[in-house]
Structures are given as C-alpha cells and as structure tokens.
Amino acid sequence: MPAEFCIGIDLGTTNSVLAFAPINEAEPLIAVLPIPQLVAPGAVEKRLSLPSFLYLAPDATDPALQVPAIRNAFGVVGEYARRIASEQPDRVVAAAKSWLCNKRVDRQSPILPWESDAEVTLVSPIDATTAYLTHLIDAWHAEFPNAPFAEQRVVLTVPASFDLVARELTKQAAIAAGFPSDFVFLEEPQAALYNWIHAHGRDWRKSLKQDDVLLVCDVGGGTTDLTLVQIQNESGELTMNRLAVGNHLLIGGDNMDLTLAHTASQLFAAKGTKLNAWQSVSLWHSCRMAKESLLRGKSSPESYPLSVLGRGSKLIGGTVSIDLPRSTVEATLIDGFFPIVGRDETPSRDAGSGFQELGLPFEPDTAITKHVALFLNEHLPTADGQDTTAPLTHLLFNGGVFNAESFRSRLVQSLASWDPNGREPVVLGGVEDLDQAVACGAAYYVWTKHHGGLRIRGGTSRSYYVGIESSGPAIPGMPRPLQALCVVPQGMEEGTQTQVQSREVGLKVGQRARFRFFSSNVRKQDKPGTYLRGWDEGELDETSPLEVELSACEGEQVVPVRFESRITELGVFELWCNSSRSDQSWKLELNVRE
C-alpha cells in the first residue's frame, strides 16, 4: 500500500512533537498531530506536544491512569508524568534522550529513574524512548486508523552531535515501537532550517545570498547543538551546504532548572527550611514549570509560587512555599548561561573532584556563549583570498530555551561584540513556534524528497577512522603504537559508498578480536585512505569498540583485506572488509553493548 503521509517526529529531551503532511499534495500542507494524554487521574486531553516523561506508577493497571487507544506497557507518558515528577521524582523518568548518549553507563540496562529509592521496576533509556515513540504511534492510529504508521514515509530527528552508538540505540527504540524499517534520521538543526525554508516558501532566497554563513543555534531541554551552513551558488541556483556541527554539549533547559532549584533552595533556607535530597529533586522539577511560565514572553507573571511537600516532623503543615521572582530568574539564567565573553575565551574543562557520580555528564562550564565562540573559531570558513575568517552573517534560533526573548537578545549582543565592525548577524525570523519547528521541518524534508525540492547538503557530520595496530618488535608491558586510518570523510552523503584507497590491512578472523573506531569533527581535509601516525589531543574521539569473532577463512588467522565504507540512508556507518585473495567479505557493525 503506497504511503499517504510524510511524518516528521521531534523526539525531544523535554517534549516530543509529531507533524505530518499529505505526501501527494502539490503544496506541503503541514499540520501538528494533537496527542491525547493523561493530564490528571481520569482526565485526558489532547495537546500539541507530548512531554518526554515516564511515570512508573505503583499500579499501572489503574483505570484512572489509562488513555483510550494508547498502550502504557512501561508506564504513563506525557503531561501527567511531567506534573507528578515534582511530587514523586523517584518514580519519573526524565531526560532519557540525554541518557542515550551517556557513555559512562550501560544504556541498555534498567537504570532509570537514576538512583531511585522507590520500590519500582527500573527501565533502560531505550525502554523509555520506546515508550514515548509508542505513545506517538498510537496517537497517530487513533487519528488515522486507515493509514498505518509503518506504511508512511517517516523521519525521526536526532541531535547533529549524536554519535553512531546513540543513533543505533535510538534506531533500536524506534523499531521496537513500530517504525518502518526504512525510516530516516535527520539532524535537528537541519530540520529547523527546513522549517524556516518552508515558512518563507520560494522567497527564502531573498533573505540570503552567495557566501552568507548561517549559524543554527539550538538550545533545547537537554542539549546545545551548533551547526554552520554556507550559502553557495551552483549553476545559478542558491544552495545550502552544512559546514560543521559542534560537539555534543549537555547544556540546556535541564541545567537551567537545576540552577533555579539551587537559587530557590537558598530562598527556602532564608525562611528557615533546609531541603533534603528528595525535596531538592522535587524542587528541580517544579523549577522547570516556573522557568517556562516566567520566561514565556510579555504575558509572563511577575513571580511563580514554588511548593515542596514536607517530609519529617520539622516541616509543619506538610508543605513549604515561596514566590520565585521573574527578575531573579532572568538575572540568574542570562548571566549564568549567556554571559558577555571575549571571542577567544574558551569553556573551562576543569573536571573538579577526581571522584564523580556516574550521572549525566553535564558540561562543567555552562556559559553557552563560550561554547559558541569556540565553535566559530574552529569552524568559520576562511574568506576568499584572505587569511581571515568569513563573517557570520545570519542566525537561526531553535529550541525551547529561545522562546525567551531575553536569551535571544543576549546571544545576538554577544555575536555582535565579536565582529570587528560590531555588526549583528541577521536573525532569520518568521517561525511562529520553536517548539514545533523541528517536527514540521522534518515533515517538510520528507515532502521535498518526494517532490524534488531543496536539499541541504552535508552528509556525515564527522570523519571516521579505524585503529590499526603498528607492526614491529613487541616491548614488554607496552602496547603497540596505534595508527588511525580514515575510512569515512566528513560530509559523506547518506546512501553512498566508497572504496578506501590504502594498502592492505590484516584482519583477524576465527578468533575473538577487539576493533577500535575513532571520529573527528575538526579534521575536515582527511580523505578515505589518510593515515594518521599521531594526532593532537582533542582531534580524535574514540567511540565504543567492537569485540567480535569473525567467521574463519580457510584456516587463516589473519586475512589481508581492503576497506569499503557505506553510509546507509538511515545515516548508519557500515565498514566492509573485502578479502584481497577471495570473494569473501566481513561487515563490521557497531557494538552497542557496553
């Protein structure tokens, strides 16, 4: 049965959104799916977003916690789960998306809610992600029962900085929820840019010209994602080419909520109330709602009431309350996350104590402006015929954090202070709702693929390498030196493959062996076949290694091979090892077991 709809899904750290459009219409008629969800026991409402929270209720079979036509195999998903987090934080899973890219933990094991003291069956980050996507699929079927989700053209967005393992884990969750096997990943900043293009139609070329450089700054609930795009001219037509993406930065709304919780705890202390650990987590969730209320725009109230439930005999009356002023919130968050800094200032990498909890690896420096400065210094292109970098000409905001005008203004002010002539970048406007931009842009991307519209070029955001052990005499107690061979260049397009032009490499077969992979977002000139016999600190990042026993080949233990790299339509990297002596080949796939 042919697909009837294009579907774009923004799997957000804080909220998830599903947008869609009829695939065969001459114009992209994009809409956002209203999602039925529990807002209170026994009360179901439709909302345009699904909060990415999972409540592990004591009795999940309670009829008051059911939503018609929505499965809740793992627990209650959505608005009620978000609200109950301030009262029962040890039963609510939050920020599962951030946990998917946390290399410090086993992301396939039941570890969430993290360090919960409740008598609850824990779930893995993959389980929680599957629960959110299952809810969205069930909501789709409730609205369009005659258009099965698995038969539609589906795009799922991920952070541009998601590594291969995080993408593979997200893929597992999507397939488990019921996604079609041929669904496609799209990077969130690109989706936001597609949404801006859709908002302006054919007139988008009037806002940009050849050689303009655009920064997409996406600060969401859990991450900060930075992407540079350059406008180029090909055969008289303006095109967009992605130049670079930033590192995966765990800075966003979650950090801001924790910061406000710390500020609020001091206000509670001033009233003689010292909060315990459980109340502090509860306060963190309450501050999320306070931030969203106080920074939503002109209609924001002057203050927001914060309450925490009492525990113990010293808390009289059961609850304690304060009013959190909007002025305090703005001053705390603007100066804490968007300080005015010099262009050459870099984020602090001080790890602090040698012993740290194995929670989410938040960035030690929360100054987003410092991270933006470092990113631009590393990736702005060189101006034609000059030794200086090209100026940043345009800026596109994305992410729920930038719904607050004060944050947008401060970032523009910072970027202007770095320009030699004090010029502000032109802010690309015309986007009504930043919370829906990524999902709508993803749906528009699918529609353009079907109808032959503009495609932002970029391919892989990183170059990839395999570690090759050097030959030579062994030294007692010392590992052999490791070389890195580039097998995927930065920018390799999805759905393509390349023969790696290098000398033969020995492949261990018939025995268990460990294969090491590396990536880089700064070595842009490396081509397939480039050998690195050494590299500077920070140039290469090691991804999860692969330990596997490859099938034997006529009794040989080491087979000479040459490499062939493939990037699937899903954006997944496959490395094929082709024997130089026979037609036998081995495919190395990522090991997502920790």
Residue 472 pLDDT: 61
Quick one: CA torsion of 158, 162, 165, 169, rounded to 10 degrees? -30
| Helix/strand number for the chain, H first, E second | 11, 30
Both structure tokens of 159: 């952070």
Summarize pLDDT for 200-210 with one digit per residue, the tens.
Answer: 988 898 999 99
Is the predicted pLDDT of residue 424 greater than 60, yes or no? Answer: yes
Residue 454 pLDDT: 82
**Which of 305, 284, 324 lies closest to 90 in space, CA to CA?**
284
Summarize pLDDT for 441-483 with one digit per residue, the tens.
Answer: 999 999 998 888 788 887 788 899 999 988 766 567 666 788 9
Higher pLDDT, 320 or 477: 320
Is the predicted pLDDT of residue 363 greater than 80, yes or no? Answer: yes
Give residue for tokens 């339509």: 569
- For CA atoms 568, 16, 89, 138, the dihedral sign is negative
**Which of 96, 60, 100, 98 lies closest to 80 in space, CA to CA?**
60
Residue 350 pLDDT: 66
pTM value is 0.85
**Which of 224, 189, 197 lies closest to 10 in space, CA to CA?**
189
Query: Which phi and psi angles does 154 have, rounded to 5°?
Result: -120, 135
d(CA 299, CA 287): 18
Residue 394 pLDDT: 97
Nearest 5°: CA angle at 408, between 280 and 81? Answer: 35
Show me where the domains of the chain are located: 5-186, 208-427, 463-588
Summarize pLDDT for 238-250 with one digit per residue, the tens.
Answer: 899 998 888 888 8
Residue 384 pLDDT: 63
Is the predicted pLDDT of residue 351 greater than 60, yes or no? Answer: no
207: left (phi over 0), alpha (psi -120 to 50) or beta: alpha
Summarize pLDDT for 94-121 with one digit per residue, the tens.
Answer: 989 989 988 788 889 999 998 888 889 9
Beta bridge partners of 556: 553
Strand order in the sheet with 482-488: 531-532, 482-488, 463-469, 517-520, 541-542
Both structure tokens of 283: 């306060």
Higher pLDDT, 511 or 572: 511
Is the predicted pLDDT of residue 46 greater than 50, yes or no? Answer: yes
Secondary structure (3-state) at 171: helix
Is the predicted pLDDT of residue 590 greater than 80, yes or no? Answer: no
Kindly state the average pLDDT of the residues 304-308: 87
208: left (phi over 0), alpha (psi -120 to 50) or beta: beta
CATH code assigned to 5-186: 3.30.420.40
Both structure tokens of 222: 């859990």
What are the CA-CA distances from residue 44 to residues 81, 439, 545 (Å)? 13, 23, 45
pLDDT > 70 in the chain, percent? 93
CA atoms within 13 A on the CB side of 198: 27
Residue 60 pLDDT: 82
CB proximity list for 545: less than 8 A, separation 6 or greater: 514, 515, 516, 517, 591
Summarize pLDDT for 168-213 with one digit per residue, the tens.
Answer: 899 999 999 999 999 999 999 999 999 999 999 888 989 999 999 9
Q: Could you tell me the pLDDT band of residue 591, with boundaries at 50, 70 and 90? A: very low
Is the predicted pLDDT of residue 551 greater than 50, yes or no? Answer: yes
Residue 86 pLDDT: 80
Both structure tokens of 297: 């725009």
Cα of 412 vs its chain's centroid, Å: 23
d(CA 283, CA 270): 16
Residue 286 pLDDT: 86
Question: Is the separation of the CB atoms in 567 and 519 below 8 Å?
Answer: no
Question: Is the separation of the CB atoms in 355 and 200 below 8 Å?
Answer: no
Is the predicted pLDDT of residue 491 greater than 90, yes or no? Answer: no
Question: Is the separation of the CB atoms in 292 and 311 below 8 Å?
Answer: no
Average pLDDT along the chain: 88
Query: Which phi and psi angles does 241 have, rounded to 5°?
Result: -130, 120
Is the predicted pLDDT of residue 435 greater than 80, yes or no? Answer: yes
Residue 576 pLDDT: 94
Does the structural domain 208-427 have CATH classification 3.40.50.970?
A: no
Residue 475 pLDDT: 63
